[in-house]
Amino acid sequence: MSTLTDTARGTAPAPASGGAIGQSVRDSLVIARRNLIRMSRIPEMVIFGLIQPVMFVVLFTYVFGGSMSIGGSTDPDVYKNFLMAGIFAQTVTFATAGAGAGIADDMHKGLIDRFRSLPMARGAVLTGRTLADLVQTSLTLLVLAVVALLVGWRPGYAEPTNAGKIAAAFGLLLLLGYAFTWIGALIGLSVRTPEAATSGGLIWLFPVTFISNAFVDSSQMASWLQPIAEWNPFSATVQACRTLFGDPGVSPSDAWPMAHPVWASIIYSIVIIAIFRTLAVRKYRSATA
């Protein structure tokens, strides 16, 4: 009788095996699969997600490439190779808006309430959604890397690199993208409509991505703006990727994130995940109570 009462109240019964962590993993994978199937049935979601970053690569490369000075050089090839790490990082972080809009849409349609009535781990809905977004981001990043190679990006252009370092750079990009999707999840749970989630997800991203070393060398910024750019978590990942890719424009700096960009990128991403996952799960419980 007690078990029936608990289930009726929406409380998940104890899992048969694997414990609470095992159940949470299984539930998260089920939700991730559901979102991936949904994406495959709406291919325009993936297509439009690919078009924007490709446009950024082409526009920045051919419109601004000849007017930017990197390390005293205005050679378009230098800027092209300097730029790509920033474009990659911008692409994975802009997926935040889509994550927030998707969760807001599920909230608006009442789907989250239906999930909450099922005997499943509380954080599984959000974890599954962010994992599905990570898969989509990986696909986008793969296509973008191919386009970058076609327009002339060459890893190892300034410093020698290898396949392991290149793979590590893409791993840092995906880790940053996953961390930022939790910010998007919190925004999606905090607004009433998908449109508001999209707008809210982009407003804060523009200053984060542009007040950074993604598109210009931060040493060329105003003196009061330079420390902000150098301590920006986004800048740390861009700097780490340039170092691992062997791209030009890795300027020396006394700021710790710029002097140790790989470690800074990992630490920033883990801290963002820890903070915003906690806040998002808490918001999920209160928003659907």
Reported as a pLDDT band with limits 50, 70 and 90, residue 217 is confident
Chain centroid offset of residue 90 CA: 8
Q: Are 270 and 114 in contact (CB under 8 A)?
A: no
pTM value is 0.85
Q: Where are the domains of the chain?
A: 19-287
Rg (CA), the chain: 21
Rounded to an integer, what distance in angstroms lies between the CA atom of residue 285 and that of residue 289? 6
**Mean predicted confidence (pLDDT) in 133-139:** 89
Asked whether the predicted pLDDT for residue 110 surpasses 80, the reply is: no
Which has more confidence, 20 or 145? 145
pLDDT digits (tens, 9 = 90+) for 65-105: 666 767 666 677 888 888 899 999 999 998 888 778 888 88
Which has more confidence, 61 or 167? 167
Of 162, 184, 176, nearest to 261 (Cα)?
176
Rounded to an integer, what distance in angstroms lies between the CA atom of residue 221 and that of residue 65? 18
